[in-house]
Chains A and B, each alone.
Chain A
Amino acid sequence: MIELRDTTKVYVSGGEKVHAVDGVTLKVDDGEFVAVVGHSGSGKTTLVSIMGGLTRPSAGSVHVGGTDIWGLDNRGLARLRSEQIGFCFQFPSLISTLTCIDNVRLPASFARGETGSTEHALELLKTVEVSEKANAYPSELSGGQQRRVAIARALVNEPSIILADEPTGDLDEDTEEDIMELFTRVNGEGVTIVMVTHSHKLASRAARILTMDNGSVSENGSGADDSPGDGR
């Protein structure tokens, strides 16, 4: 279970305070599939990165599986990121100096302190249909292929929570469908999924939709406005 209590993130940019996440209180139960929609700049990425232990909130708390994650020490946080959370970033996030398969194996090496099994990594690359690029470097892949490798990487440690920030951002409809099927299947196995999307169509695949507006979250919002919007 993910539980946010009055969680706030304030950025100071150019002398001005931006409440990227503004006093959000919410619960995501184990095994839920939640979509987060909202205008560009409404704070979706900030919200999921706080949940995933990647951005420290300015105020409030985040509990994952009953643990106050921002009360953990560095080692504890690293362990949480490694063992419990699979994060798909909004933008290309592969390590450019590693081959695709080594990128997928990387989180496994942090979790178990060894290199991580090649077969398992290859299997995951097959699932996302980029196994033929296993030994290629990220720069040799298309944006969509890179994204799929990143999804395979998020799955490698069999996390209990997947935080996906616009995971199908630049994928064609067929591949998008494949990824959604993969997420649905993984979710069926009990993995909690929080997925940020601009697409109302994709959001409707989730059991629950959260709408973000100016740092605030409202339940079961319509998510009707899916325009990528007003820039930042």
Chain B
Amino acid sequence: MVGIDPETDFTVGPWLKNNLNGKLGRNEVILGSNAHIFFGKSESKVGDIETFYGNEFVVVGILEPTGLGLDDGGFITIEAAEELAQLSEITAERQLEIEPGQISTLMVKVDPQADRGDVARAIADAVPGIAVVSSKELMTTSVSRQLETMAPVLLLIGVGFWIIAVLLIGALFTMVVNERRRELGLLQAMGATRSFIFKQVMLESVQLTALGGAFGMAVGAVIILLLKSTVASSLGVEFQWPSAGFVVGFTLGYLVLAVATGVIAALYPAAVASRLEPYQAIRSGE
């Protein structure tokens, strides 16, 4: 249980402001997303009544998952917490030994311009016996931090696959061009210009990659739809769709990349195709 000061708290404070007008009553508790597990329930609902150290509290809110330890706990006012500690002597199975005014953690919101390290040192110097932990260290446990370190690796893998794709498509079209030398020679004999042949090969490559890109995106979307809840719960975070603008931009960017892939991959085979000498090419099919 975390006792907070609703007036100055900035961890659940903003949530409190948005959902409960910034007011948390003496017998009210806000639960983390996984707190229900400790009550042996499959789910907690607003309005439930839970007993802590012999005191009944009304659940007034349930927070979204954060992936942090906070998900397992609950928030009450600091006054309620102190009272709880005092009354535990009579009401609880085991007494809490917390003196009035005693606190375990003081959160300090550092000005964006200030250096976290300097602030931490200043506090450590001023208050003997205090341990100062800066948020960067706290964040290392969070999911977003993990993803942050994974992103470059994923990007690298993606780029690697892309290069392989370009090479494979290039090889494929070199084979296609080779196989169709006769036809390409005939087209030239019929009066097709070299640039027509070049464009023709390009067009086919781009059709292939654009189609492949669209297909890949559709498969990706289906996988996300099917697995989003599994992934979200295994990471302990709420699944969130990116903004519509991002989705549109990403889709367009992805298609542009697919088309560009087709163009780049077909450059060599298309150049080869357009440079065939007509009769030689036609004969090669004999």
Chain A residues packing against B (C-beta within 8 Å): 49, 52-56, 74-75, 78-79, 81-83, 87, 89, 91, 93, 95-97, 106-107, 110-111, 153, 157
Contact = CB atoms under 8 A, between A and B. Distances in A.
Contacts of A52: 189
Contact of B191 (A91, A96, A97, A157): A157
A110 B187 CA distance: 9
A106 B189 CA distance: 11
Given A54-B277, A78-B196, A96-B183, 16 more contacts: A49-B279, A52-B189, A54-B278, A56-B277, A75-B195, A78-B191, A78-B194, A81-B188, A82-B191, A89-B282, A93-B186, A93-B282, A95-B183, A97-B183, A110-B191, A153-B190
**7 closest pairs, A vs B, by CB?**
A82-B191, A110-B191, A54-B279, A78-B193, A49-B279, A55-B279, A54-B278
Interface residues of B, number: 18
26 contacts: A49-B279, A54-B277, A54-B278, A55-B278, A74-B193, A74-B195, A78-B188, A78-B192, A78-B193, A78-B194, A78-B196, A79-B191, A81-B188, A81-B189, A82-B191, A83-B191, A87-B189, A93-B186, A93-B189, A95-B186, A95-B187, A106-B190, A110-B190, A110-B193, A110-B196, A153-B190
Query: Among the interface residues B186, B190, B280, B282, which one has the most CB atoms of the partner chain A within 10 A?
Result: B190
A105 to B, nearest CB: 10
B146 to A, nearest CB: 53
A110 B192 contact: yes
B194 A74 contact: yes
A74 B188 CA distance: 10
Interface string B184-207: 001111111111100000000000
Nearest to A93: B186
B285 to A, nearest CB: 8
Interface in B242-280: 277-280
A72 to B, nearest CB: 12
Contacts of B188: 54, 78, 81
B125 interface: no
A157 B191 CA distance: 10
B111 interface: no
Contacts of B194: 74, 78
Query: Among the interface residues A79, A107, A111, which one has the most CB atoms of the partner chain B within 10 A?
Result: A107
A15 B195 CA distance: 33
A49 B277 CA distance: 11
Contacts of A54: 188-189, 277-279, 282
B219 to A, nearest CB: 30
A111 B279 contact: no
A111 B191 contact: yes
A107 B191 contact: yes
Contacts of B277: 54-56
A16 B40 CA distance: 91
Contacts of B282: 54, 89, 93
Contacts of A95: 183, 186-187
Contacts of A74: 193-195
B286 interface: yes
Contacts of A49: 278-279
Contacts of A97: 183
A50 B144 CA distance: 69
Contacts of B280: 55
B216 to A, nearest CB: 28
A231 to B, nearest CB: 14
Nearest to B278: A54
B36 to A, nearest CB: 65
Contacts of A106: 187, 190
B278 to A, nearest CB: 4
Nearest to B285: A91
Contacts of A82: 190-191
Contacts of B187: 95, 106
A91 B278 CA distance: 14
A171 B60 CA distance: 95
